[in-house]
């Protein structure tokens, strides 16, 4: 792989200098009828231009970024002056006698307007190559930062999932414990089967960044049945789902919100509890609305859904995945806590 990368870079450099030579040849050829002579003349200057450019880019330019400004300035001046003297000397003793000896021209070493032209040409070439190199280095740095950010995001998401899994497992085990203590062996056995389904989902399905909505709903249904086996007739859950269940969303996001509704709705309620869950899947948007009764005061449910480990994780995961393109709101009306989540479906 390293060898191929070096070959690709070498090819890029060769192609660039070929294009540079062709450009100079055509530019100078506008003023000279003999295009072949002009092309050979430009080609004879190419080695000095290449050496000068690479000396600046790879040896002198790093001084600037190493905060060696004086050394950078002095070496730049020395390189430019040396390049100009070598170019003029080469023209006097090589290019001019070889290509233009039969022309009615004379060569003057200190012909200032030509020296200024050489200086501009050297400066433009060095500037262009330096700009390309700096852009490439900046692009590589950005790519590395993007990779690091992606890895950091994945690590944080995995950490948040690792927190969520034992959190819901703890609540689920409480439900099974209730059935065992109350000697409802059939319910306990059924609950253990439902728990195994939940664990299977967490172990295998949650490894993916996105899963079909139908799988998340299957998890939610298992959890609802598990809670019903504990609370019996005291609990009523109305689940309404509309839309294409093949669309994908992050795993456990909806589940965490629903788990929160049971925790602060059913478990803290003395009488009958009705939890309403409405899921709507449109072309580009997924929304879930959860309503559960509460016994706490409004102050306990401040805007932002910051109460509880589950909702803290939901907020953080949504921020990592969707940035600011999601909407999570909550409010309290008539002792009913209402939580609404909206996320874009196609924003993976």
Lowest-pLDDT range of 17-21, 126-130, 298-302: 298-302
Same domain, 61 and 163: no
Same domain, 273 and 325: yes
Same domain, 248 and 319: yes
Same domain, 191 and 73: no
Same domain, 256 and 335: yes
In-domain check, residue 34: yes
Average pLDDT of every residue of the chain? 77
Whether the Cβ atoms of residue 329 and residue 320 lie closer than 8 Å to each other: no
Same domain, 244 and 327: yes
In-domain check, residue 238: yes
Same domain, 82 and 165: no
Q: What percent of the chain has pLDDT over 90?
A: 10
Whether the Cβ atoms of residue 259 and residue 310 lie closer than 8 Å to each other: yes
Domain that residue 85 falls in: 2-110
**Burial class (CB within 10 angstroms; exposed 0-12, middle 13-18, buried 19+) of 322:** middle
Count of structural domains within the chain: 2
pLDDT of residue 280: 94
Same domain, 85 and 212: no
Same domain, 70 and 173: no
Chain centroid, CA 78 distance in Å: 44
Same domain, 29 and 166: no
Q: What would the pLDDT profile of 292-311 be if each residue is shown by its tens digit? A: 888 654 444 443 444 555 67
Tokens coding 2: 């390293």
Mean pLDDT over residues 330-336, rounded? 86
In-domain check, residue 121: no
Packed helices 253-261 and 112-181: angle between N→C axes, nearest 10 degrees = 40
pLDDT of residue 180: 62
Alpha helices (runs of H) in 56-111, residue ranges in sequence order: 61-65, 69-90, 96-100
Tokens coding 211: 């899963």
Is pLDDT above 70 for 209? yes
In-domain check, residue 141: no
In-domain check, residue 137: no
Beta bridge partners, 274, equal: 236
List the CATH number of the domain containing 323: 3.30.565.10
Mean pLDDT over residues 156-168, rounded? 54
Same domain, 159 and 41: no
In-domain check, residue 124: no
Q: What would the pLDDT profile of 97-116 be if each residue is shown by its tens digit? A: 777 666 666 767 777 777 88
In-domain check, residue 147: no
Give me the half-sphere count of Cα atoms (radius 13 Å) on the Cβ side of residue 67.
Answer: 0
In-domain check, residue 271: yes
Whether the Cβ atoms of residue 53 and residue 76 lie closer than 8 Å to each other: no
Same domain, 263 and 197: yes
> Cα–Cα distance between 253 and 341 in angstroms, integer?
9
Answer with the one of 110, 142, 165 that is the final residue of a domain. 110
Q: What would the pLDDT profile of 254-277 be if each residue is shown by its tens digit? A: 888 888 888 776 655 567 888 999
Answer with the one of 110, 126, 146 that is the final residue of a domain. 110
């Amino acid at each position: 792989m390293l060898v191929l990368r070096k070959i690709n870079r070498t090819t890029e450099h060769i192609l660039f200098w070929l294009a540079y030579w062709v450009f100079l040849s055509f530019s100078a050829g506008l003023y000279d009828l003999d295009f072949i002579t002009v092309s050979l003349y430009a080609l004879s200057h190419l080695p000095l231009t290449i050496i000068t450019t690479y000396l600046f880019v790879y040896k002198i330019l790093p001084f600037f970024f190493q905060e060696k400004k004086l050394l950078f300035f002095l070496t730049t001046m020395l390189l430019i002056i040396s390049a100009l003297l070598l170019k003029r000397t080469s023209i006097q003793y090589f290019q001019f006698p070889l290509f233009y000896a039969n022309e009615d021209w004379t060569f003057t070493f200190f012909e200032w307007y030509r020296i200024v032209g050489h200086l501009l040409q050297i400066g433009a070439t060095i500037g262009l190559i330096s700009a390309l190199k700096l852009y490439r280095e900046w692009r590589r740095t950005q790519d590395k930062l993007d990779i690091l950010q992606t890895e950091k995001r994945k690590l944080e998401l995995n950490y948040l999932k690792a927190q969520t899994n034992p959190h819901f497992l703890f609540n689920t085990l409480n439900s099974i414990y209730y059935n065992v203590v109350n000697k409802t062996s059939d319910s306990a056995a059924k609950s253990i089967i439902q728990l195994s389904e939940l664990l299977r989902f967490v172990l295998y399905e949650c490894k993916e960044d996105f899963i079909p909505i139908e799988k998340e709903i299957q998890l939610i249904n298992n959890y609802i049945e598990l809670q019903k086996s504990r609370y019996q007739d005291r609990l009523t859950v109305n689940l309404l789902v509309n839309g294409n269940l093949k669309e994908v969303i992050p795993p456990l996001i909806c589940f965490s919100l629903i788990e929160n509704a049971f925790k602060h709705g059913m478990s803290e309620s003395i009488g009958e509890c009705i939890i309403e869950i409405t899921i709507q899947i449109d072309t580009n948007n997924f929304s879930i609305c959860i309503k559960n009764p509460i016994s706490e005061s409004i102050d306990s449910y401040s805007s932002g859904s910051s109460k509880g480990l589950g909702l803290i994780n939901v907020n953080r995961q949504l921020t990592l995945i969707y940035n600011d393109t999601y909407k999570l709101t909550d409010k309290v009306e008539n002792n009913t806590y209402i939580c609404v989540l909206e996320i874009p479906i196609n924003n993976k």
